[in-house]
């Protein structure tokens, strides 16, 4: 019979074959008609091999069915040892099928390369996941472009900038809510008496969490640095407490770094721990996020993406945000460093209702507060539908939540599909003249596009 035969063949192979399993397979084959088939035709050997493989499948706990729609130019000589190499080849091919089948990944590749070539950013890491699966994870360009060059890697550590707000600060506040140590309706003045002045007497924690406290967006970091030196965390807190409210609490959404610096100070007041220590112990360590922290150690330096060159010094492992630097890098608005892989764990925890691998990080109620609209389109941490939510793109569901960071970082999670997009760029490197908005828009449209585009 011709070796070029069209057939449909199903093999049952161990997902992680080991030497013992291979020997077991061979013993089963040798006890079958395949072992007795000296002088028989290739067809009978093929049939005997299928019979042996079927029996092995029934006795193996871990198996993978690999379907070959065409078996051509393959001759099985009457030796059962051919089964394992062929099956392993099938396994290797099957691992690539899903990625090769989805056209979105090529479109993401092209979009990132286009933005790098346009000079909008030196490099990027993109990760797309759904449920407990990472579907796409790729690095592009350079982690450092000046004054030397280093390539971007999938495990590159990024300055999260304002992603610190939901991932560390809001999460810490909600852990304390779960513990009964804080309440969203608590007055800020209960924990920081000096704050209760100049129209801020009725500001509550929920106002800080949703950027509706009336606080200004920012304050002059250079002035504070000139007057008090750097770092000067106590002076930053004094300055915020003394500011006059620009609107009544709850009246208007005004994105404010100052509100989240205040929240981190409240965490310190309640726990006697900085936001760095508390979030590490209660969130990141418990999730196994080993490359997420404030104040990254010196050993990480070569893995960190550069941000801006300030006063001829490349910021790499030092927080980019000026107020966070005045806070000695331990700040509620910025200061966290992380990787795409670690953030994917955080996303999966949220999409799983606050738990991950048996660890309950947040209650389902706390996750709802962190990720669903509470006021003015904002959740207690993430954005859902405010004017900043454009990073979700036009196709994500209304339930999708998101946040971005000034350094070029962003995250979008859509509970409706269980899909999340993590985009980490170093667009502020080297001279704060880049832009990440076009790539944020392109990748969101690709990942969350109409069903026909990626089902």
- pLDDT, one tens digit per residue, over 385-411 is 999 999 999 999 999 999 999 999 999
151 and 48 within one domain: no
Backbone phi, then psi, for 294, in 5-degree steps?
Answer: -85, 155
76, 142: one domain = no
**What band does 89 get if pLDDT is binned at 50, 70 and 90?**
very low
Is pLDDT larger for residue 12 or for residue 255?
Answer: 255
pLDDT band at 229 (very low <50, low <70, confident <90, very high): very high
Answer yes or no: is 368 within a domain: yes
pLDDT given for residue 91 in this prediction: 39
Same domain? For 74 and 109 the reply is no
Q: Which pair of structure tokens corresponds to residue 91? A: 């396994």
Mean pLDDT of 413-424: 98
pLDDT of residue 9: 28
- Is pLDDT above 60 for 275? yes
80 has a pLDDT exceeding 50: no
User: The CATH number of the domain where 245 resides is what?
Assistant: 3.40.710.10
Q: How far apart are the C-alpha atoms of 237 and 221, rounded to whole Å?
A: 12
Flag whether 259 is in a domain: yes
pLDDT band at 426; cut points 50, 70, 90: very high
pLDDT at 450: 81
Q: What are phi and psi of 158, to 5 degrees?
A: -115, 150
Q: What is the mean pLDDT of residues 279-292?
A: 98
Q: Are residues 350 and 370 in the same domain?
A: yes
State whether 236 and 349 are in the same domain. Answer: yes
Quote the pLDDT of residue 44: 42
CB 191 within 8 A of CB 270: yes
Final residue in a domain of this structure, among 67, 95, 123:
95
Q: Are residues 295 and 238 in the same domain?
A: yes
> Same domain, yes or no, for 79 and 122?
no
C-alpha distances in Å from residue 219, one per residue of 170, 199, 210, 322, 427 = 21, 17, 19, 10, 23
Determine, yes or no, domain membership for 100.
no
Residues 348 and 238 in one domain: yes
Q: Are 134 and 126 in contact (CB under 8 A)?
A: no
Whether 248 maps to a domain, the answer reads yes
Q: Among residues of the chain, what percentage have pLDDT more than 70?
A: 77
In sequence order, what are the residues at sequence separation of 6 or more whose Cβ sits closer than 8 angstroms to the Cβ of residue 25? 52, 53, 56, 80, 83, 84
Lowest model confidence (mean pLDDT) among 72-81, 317-326, 354-363, 391-400: 72-81
447 in the same domain as 328: yes
Domain assignment present for 240: yes
Q: Which range is least confidently modeled, 23-37, 200-214, 224-238, 320-334?
A: 23-37
Single residue among 74, 95, 116 that ends a domain in this structure: 95
Q: Is residue 244 part of a domain?
A: yes
What is the mean pLDDT of the segment spanning 110-118?
Answer: 98
Q: Which residue has the higher pLDDT, 51 or 329?
A: 329
Q: How far apart are CA 344 and CA 406, in angstroms?
A: 20
Residue in 12, 16, 15, 44 with CA at minimum distance from that of residue 28: 12
Instruction: Please say if the pLDDT value at position 232 is more than 70.
Output: yes
Q: Of the residues 77, 95, 113, which one is the last residue of a structural domain?
A: 95
Residue 2, helix vs strand vs coil: coil
Average pLDDT over residues 180-197: 98
Nearest to 408 by CA among 388, 389, 429, 390: 429
Q: Are residues 133 and 255 in the same domain?
A: yes
For residue 2, being part of any structural domain is answered with: no
Q: Which of 416, 425, 426 is nearest to 448 (CA)?
A: 416
Query: Which of 108, 192, 116 minimizes the C-alpha distance to 453?
Result: 108
Distance, in Å, from the CA atom of 122 to the CA atom of 350, rounded to the nearest integer, reads 30
Who contacts 439 (Cβ-Cβ below 8 Å, separation ≥6)?
111, 112, 115, 120, 121, 124, 423, 425
In a domain, 327, yes or no: yes
3-state secondary structure of 354: coil
- Pair 124, 86 in one domain: no
The answer for residues whose C-beta is within 8 angstroms of residue 118's C-beta and 6 or more apart is none
**Contact assessment for residue 380 and residue 209, using Cβ atoms and an 8 Å cutoff:** yes
Q: Which of these ranges, 44-48, 103-107, 350-354, has the smallest mean pLDDT? A: 44-48
Clarify whether residues 67 and 167 are in a common domain.
no
pLDDT for 100 equals: 52
Report how many domains make up the chain.
Answer: 2
Domain carrying residue 80: 9-95
């Amino acid at each position: 019979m011709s070796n070029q035969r069209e057939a449909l063949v199903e093999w049952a192979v161990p997902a992680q074959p080991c030497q013992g399993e291979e020997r077991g397979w061979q013993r089963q084959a040798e006890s079958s008609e395949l072992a007795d088939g000296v002088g028989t035709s290739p067809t009978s050997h093929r049939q005997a091999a299928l019979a042996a493989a079927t029996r092995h499948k029934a006795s193996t706990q871990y198996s993978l069915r690999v379907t070959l729609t065409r078996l051509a130019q393959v001759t099985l000589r009457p030796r059962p040892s051919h089964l394992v190499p062929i099956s392993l080849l099938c396994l290797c091919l099957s691992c690539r099928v899903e990625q090769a089948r989805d056209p979105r990944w090529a479109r993401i590749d092209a979009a990132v390369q286009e933005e790098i070539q346009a000079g909008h950013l030196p490099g990027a890491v993109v990760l797309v996941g759904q449920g407990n699966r990472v579907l796409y994870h790729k690095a592009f360009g350079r982690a450092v472009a000046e004054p030397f060059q280093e390539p971007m890697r999938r495990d590159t550590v990024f300055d999260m900038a304002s992603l610190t707000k939901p991932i560390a600060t809001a999460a810490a506040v909600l852990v304390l809510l779960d513990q009964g140590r804080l309440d969203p309706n608590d007055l800020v003045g209960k924990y920081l008496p000096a704050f209760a002045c100049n129209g801020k007497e009725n500001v509550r924690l929920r106002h800080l969490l949703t950027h509706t406290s009336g606080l200004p967006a920012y304050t002059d970091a250079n002035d504070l640095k000139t007057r008090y030196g750097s770092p000067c965390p106590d002076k930053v807190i004094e300055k915020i407490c003394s500011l006059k409210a620009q609107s009544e609490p709850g009246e208007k959404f005004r994105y404010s770094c100052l509100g989240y610096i205040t929240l981190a100070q409240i965490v310190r007041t309640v726990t006697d721990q900085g936001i760095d220590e508390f979030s590490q112990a209660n969130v990141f360590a418990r999730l196994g996020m080993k490359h997420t922290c404030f104040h990254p150690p010196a050993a990480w330096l070569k893995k960190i993406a550069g941000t801006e060159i300030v006063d001829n010094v490349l910021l790499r492992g030092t927080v980019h945000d000026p107020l966070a630097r005045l806070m000695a890098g331990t700040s509620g608005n910025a200061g966290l460093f992380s990787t795409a892989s670690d953030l994917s764990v955080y996303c999966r925890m949220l999409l799983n209702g606050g738990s991950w691998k048996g660890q309950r990080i947040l209650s389902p109620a706390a996750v709802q507060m962190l990720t669903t609209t509470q006021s003015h389109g904002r959740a207690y941490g993430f954005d859902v539908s405010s004017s900043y939510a454009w990073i979700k793109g036009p196709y994500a569901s209304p339930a999708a939540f998101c946040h971005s960071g000034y350094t070029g970082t962003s995250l979008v999670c859509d509970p409706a599909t269980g899909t999340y997009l993590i985009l980490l760029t170093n667009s502020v490197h080297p001279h704060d003249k880049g832009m990440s908005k076009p790539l944020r828009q392109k990748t969101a449209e690709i990942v969350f596009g109409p069903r026909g585009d990626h089902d």
